Structure formats: C-alpha cells, structure tokens
Amino acid sequence: MMKTMSILLLMMMKPTKLMNSLCLLTFMFIFLSFLIKHDQEWFLFYSSLSSDTLSFSLICLSTLIMILMIMSSTSNTNITYRAMYFSLLLNSLLMCLFLTFSTLNIIMFYIMFEASLIPTFMLILGWGNQPERSQAGIYMMVYTVTASLPLLIIFLMWSNKIGSASLHILYTYDSNWLTSSLWAFILVLAFSVKLPTYLVHVWLPKAHVEAPVAGSMILAAILLKLGGYGLLRMISKTSNLMAPIIPLLISWSLAGGAMIALLCVFQNDIKMLIALSSVAHMAMVMSGSLTLSLWGTNGAQFIMIGHGFCSSALFCVANMTYERLNSRSFFAIKGMQVILPVMSMAWFMLCTSNMASPPSLNLLGEMNSITAIFSWTYFLSLPLTIMVFLAAAYSLFLFSQSQHGKLSLKTQSISPATPREWLILFLHWMPLNLLFLNPCSIQLFILPYNL
C-alpha cells in the first residue's frame, strides 16, 4: 500500500500530458490489485492509515475510475491544453479520497471528506459546459458543508470526551455518551446529504449534469459512496443510539427512492435521468445498511461498487453521444442505433445492468438489500416493488428513446466509436459483470457491529 502512496506522491511532479498521469495511475492500480484477494480482513499500513475490505474496494474503485476518467477526457481539447492542471486536480482528488477511505483518525476523515469537495468544485467550475455550472458547484458545496458542520461538532465532542480521535479507541467505548436521538440524526445527516436522500438531493442533478464527463464520473462513482462509507462506519458503533430513528430513516429513504424513480421516467435530459437514477440506487443502499444486518451491509457494498461502475459508464456513453450531437436532450438524441451500433450494444448492456439484470453486480446487491429490508418489515415491499419496477422503466426508457426511433439527423456526419471509447466502456462493463461470479473479493464478512 505504501507503494501506491508513493506513486500518488510522484504524480505531484507535474505531468504535462494526460498520458503521463494515465501511466502512473495504471501502475498504482497494478500495485493495488495485488491486494484484491486478501485473506486478512483488516490491515494497518501506516500508524493511522489502514484498510479493510470496505475501504479497500472503494480505493480500488476510485483508482480505476480515475484511469477511465483520464481516458475519456482526452477528446476534450479544453482539458488537453491544460493537462497539467487537470492532472494535478485529479491527483489531489485521488489523494483526498485515498486518505478518506484509509484514515483511522476521525478528524482527518472529516477534513478529507470536506476536502474532496474542493477539487470537484474546481472541476465543475473550470471545465463544465453550461453557464449553470456555477450554481451547480455552489449548491454542491453549500449543501454538503451545511449538513456536515454539525457532524464536525459531534466528532469534536466525541473525541474530546473519549480522549482520542482514533476510530479504534472511539469504538471500544459504548455510545452512551450521547443520549438524544437528535445527535444520532446529525451523525447521519451529513452522509445522507452526500448519499443523497430524497429531500436533500437537490445538489445532485445540478452537479452531475453540469460537470464535465470526468467530474460526473467521479461524482457518481466515488463521491456518493463517501456518504455510504461514512454511514456504514458511523452506524456500526452508534446503533443503540440510532435505534429510535432508524424506522424514520429507512422509510424516508425508500419513499424518496420510489418518488425519484417515478420522476426519472419522465425526464427529457439524458444526464439528469442518470443522475436521478443514482439517487434511487443510493436510497436502497441507505435503507439496506440501516437495517443493521449483514445482508443489508453486503447489499449496500455490492450496490455501491456496482453502481459506481454502471453510473460512471452511463455518463461516459452519454458524453460520447453529447460530443457527437452537442445536445443532451431526448428530443434530439434518437435513433442512435442506426449510426452508432457498437455504442448501441454498450447502451443496452449498461442500461440492463442499471436495472439490475443478471449477470451484473447490481442484481446481487439488490437481492441482498431487498432481503434485508423485507425481513425488517414486509410493509416496505411496496416501495421496493415500485423501485424495482420503475428502475426497469427508466432504464429501458433511456435505452429505447435514445437508440430506437427515427433518426432525425440528415445534415451531420457522426464519427463511429473509436477504440478508446470502446475500451472505456468495456473496462467499465467487465468488472461489473465478472465480479458477480466472485463477490467474495468485495464481500464484507464481519458483522456490522464491528465495522
């Protein structure tokens, strides 16, 4: 692991071309991949940096997505002319994410959690395509920071009371230092804004849509999972505290997920549809993990990893269409199957993976989450059914509306899919569908109480 950190630091040496940073990131991923089959559950690689399966899988995912981000940004001349700044931005983001996922110090976790917002904000503001990107960036920052300032207070109080900020020591004490459910809610609030859950999800459509493809990919793949990761870490030792509010939180996220899924079907902007579908998936993550069961935790993990690949791939392929047609609207993008058949197959694979069809990891995650939530209470089968059904509705609507139909483009020539684009989509799709056969590499074997 230290080799990977050193390569990350090496990237601070100002790579002037995108290809340089791509090579360094590939090396880093190769070093990381040696640890994917790990026999020990948790290992410490520095005095306060450690990783267990949850954080390690997210670190691998972020590195892989970084590689794919650079690959998909090479067609954007705005980025290639300023390759050094872009690479530095991505590198700092990766550093923040790496530290967030591996740190044991709770204050460091908070600092890196907030710090990952800044490179993202600069990415949205610097390379986004529409003038709405300034509002998008502001929304993202203000929503996240507003919700996480109470979290900072809680963390400081917690570490002050116990006397240490290390997660191990904090976890050995029972959570009777706080007696009110309001504090438990505050612990969850920051992560539920990041995740996001329904009423505080407003930043997500804006940020995802206005970001460039690299920004959308990292937002969808990793930054949403920061919320899931924090949630899983926090609920493990504060479960006694949270028990009164857990029914509220589960109903909130599931009802919100069902409502968002209904809204998704009737969008007319491709990226907004994909962004809102992320909200629906993350609703299932939140509900699954809040059931405090091993099934729910595993379901949350599988959905997080699977959704990371799937959503990021959908944003990539939407961007490939956007580069050719310069529009994101469904009214302009139809009949693509006629002119881009290779990408049509990629759209189909990804849309069906999005709706949890076999053999994708999303199906495994949904099976686990649904099992967990259904065993919590069977009244929740209604929002679950609505979400599963409408997931198919909007995913196939996305596929059918963009690929089938009559092509209205008679005056423009469209270049076919380049091998680079094919490689990006393949590298997204392949782990998603192969990890289904061996989920024990990303499975969480330990009970949620010991996370």
Looking at beta carbons only, is 85 or 348 nearer to another protein?
Answer: 348
CB 346, CB 433: distance < 8 Å: no
Site for another protein in 216-255 (CB under 8 A): none
Q: How far is the CB of 450 from another protein (least distance, A)?
A: 14
Site for another protein in 115-144 (CB under 8 A): 139, 142-143
DSSP 152-201: HHHHHHHHHHHS--BHHHHHHS-STT---HHHHHHHHHHHHHHTT-GGG-
CB 430, CB 360: distance < 8 Å: no
In 74-132, where does DSSP find H-type helix? 77-80, 83-102, 106-115, 117-127
CA 166 from centre of chain: 26
Looking at beta carbons only, is 247 or 358 nearer to another protein?
Answer: 358
Looking at beta carbons only, is 310 or 424 nearer to another protein?
Answer: 310
Applying CB under 8 A, among 231, 370, 432, 451 the residue interacting with another protein is 370
Can residue 389 be called a binding residue for another protein (CB under 8 A)? yes
Distance CA(14)–CA(20), nearest Å, equals 9
Q: How far is the CB of 88 from another protein (least distance, A)?
A: 30
Can residue 339 be called a binding residue for another protein (CB under 8 A)? no
Q: How far is the CB of 402 from another protein (least distance, A)?
A: 12
Looking at the chain, how many residues does it have? 451
Angle (nearest 5°) at CA 33 between 30 and 37: 160
Site for another protein in 415-444 (CB under 8 A): 436-437, 439-440, 443
Which 3-state string (H, E, C) describes 363-389? HHHHHHHHHHHHHHCHHHHHHHHHHHH
Looking at beta carbons only, is 159 or 337 nearer to another protein?
Answer: 337
Applying CB under 8 A, among 26, 129, 251, 357 the residue interacting with another protein is 357
Can residue 185 be called a binding residue for another protein (CB under 8 A)? no
Can residue 332 be called a binding residue for another protein (CB under 8 A)? no
Which residues, 6+ apart, have CB-to-CB distance to 65 below 8 Å? Answer: 217, 218, 221, 222, 308, 312
Q: How far is the CB of 375 from another protein (least distance, A)?
A: 6
Distance CA(432)–CA(362), nearest Å, equals 8
Applying CB under 8 A, among 43, 45, 81, 266 the residue interacting with another protein is 266
What is the residue whose two structure tokens read 């599931």?
A: 254
Looking at beta carbons only, is 388 or 427 nearer to another protein?
Answer: 388
Applying CB under 8 A, among 122, 265, 325, 339 the residue interacting with another protein is 265
55: nearest Cα among 233, 216, 297, 282: 233
Count of residues that bind another protein according to CB under 8 A: 53
Applying CB under 8 A, among 130, 172, 327, 381 the residue interacting with another protein is 381
Applying CB under 8 A, among 348, 409, 414, 427 the residue interacting with another protein is 348
Stretch that binds another protein, among 17-25, 83-91, 321-329, 367-375 (CB under 8 A): 367-375
Can residue 409 be called a binding residue for another protein (CB under 8 A)? no
Rg, the chain, Cα only: 21
297: nearest Cα among 285, 309, 280, 281: 285
Applying CB under 8 A, among 38, 239, 405, 422 the residue interacting with another protein is 405
Strand partners for 329: 269
Question: Torsions phi, psi of 111, nearest 5?
Answer: -65, -45
425: nearest Cα among 68, 63, 24, 61: 68
Can residue 413 be called a binding residue for another protein (CB under 8 A)? no
Can residue 30 be called a binding residue for another protein (CB under 8 A)? no
- How far CA 260 is from CA of 218, 252, 266, 394, in Å, comes to 22, 12, 10, 11
Can residue 298 be called a binding residue for another protein (CB under 8 A)? yes
Q: How far is the CB of 186 from another protein (least distance, A)?
A: 18
What residues make contact with another protein under the rule CB under 8 A? 139, 142-143, 199-200, 202-203, 259-260, 262-263, 265-266, 293-295, 298, 337, 348, 352, 356-359, 363-364, 366-368, 370-371, 373-375, 378, 381, 384-385, 388-389, 392-393, 396-397, 400, 404-405, 436-437, 439-440, 443, 445
